[in-house]
């Protein structure tokens, strides 16, 4: 497990990079533009095997439940599934069903979407306003495996609440920390 901090981040105000990827659960193609007209779009880079994602995956499901219908939410896995077979589409689908994700879980086989978003680690979060401009790129919360801080999602929830209310998100944002994206 290589610890990575998301440091090569998109600039606040940057437009959400386009994507059109297959949802591993429904089989349907989901694109960025499917979320136009919503109050915002949360793009989460996650996977199945990362201990940082495993640590918060129930919290991710809660975010999906609590914010369903309030804005768009997608998860994307961009890891090399040849070297990390748990992160193949079947593994992602099993994780989604086991944990109860209510949002599309997309597989970025070419890794082009992760590169466009400058995603560095799992988990990595990108929250865009209704105009698809980046408002937040930071951590879920301060909880990490083994640090005994409760999992609340408070940092991401505060940003989500601000975007939904049409309010500015604080620019004091702490980068995500986790396992590096498994590049090909």
Residue-wise pLDDT for 105-143, tens only, equals: 999 999 999 999 999 999 999 999 999 999 999 999 999
Q: Is the pLDDT of residue 10 over 90?
A: no
Measured between alpha carbons, how far is 108 from 99 in angstroms, rounded to an integer? Answer: 20
- Residue 9 has what pLDDT? 75
- Residue 4 has what pLDDT? 47
* pTM recorded for the entire structure: 0.95
| Domain membership of residue 60 as a residue range | 3-180
CATH number at residue 45: 3.40.30.10
- Residue 8 has what pLDDT? 62
Which residue in 71, 35, 40, 56 sits closest to 123, CA to CA? 56
Q: Is the pLDDT of residue 5 over 80?
A: no
Mean pLDDT value of segment 165-171: 94
Q: How many domains are contained in the chain?
A: 1
Q: Is the pLDDT of residue 103 over 50?
A: yes
Mean pLDDT taken over the chain? 94
167 C-beta neighbours (distance < 10 Å), count: 10
């Amino acid at each position: 497990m290589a610890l990575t901090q998301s440091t090569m981040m998109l600039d606040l105000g940057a437009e959400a990079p386009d994507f059109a990827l297959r949802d591993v659960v429904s089989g349907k193609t989901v694109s960025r533009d499917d979320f136009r007209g919503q109050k915002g779009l949360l793009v989460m880079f996650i996977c199945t095997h990362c201990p940082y994602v495993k640590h918060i995956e129930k919290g991710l499901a809660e975010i999906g439940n609590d914010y369903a219908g309030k804005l768009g939410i997608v998860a994307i896995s961009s890891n090399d599934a040849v070297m990390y077979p748990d992160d193949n589409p079947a593994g992602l689908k099993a994780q989604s069903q086991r944990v109860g994700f209510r949002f599309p879980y997309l597989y970025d086989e070419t890794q082009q979407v992760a590169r466009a978003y400058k995603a560095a680690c799992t988990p990595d979060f990108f929250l865009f306003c209704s105009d698809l401009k980046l408002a937040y790129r930071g951590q879920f919360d301060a909880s990490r495996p083994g640090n005994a801080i409760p999992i609340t999602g408070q940092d991401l929830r505060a940003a989500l609440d601000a975007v939904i209310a049409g309010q500015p998100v604080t620019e004091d944002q702490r980068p995500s920390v986790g396992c590096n994206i498994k590049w090909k």
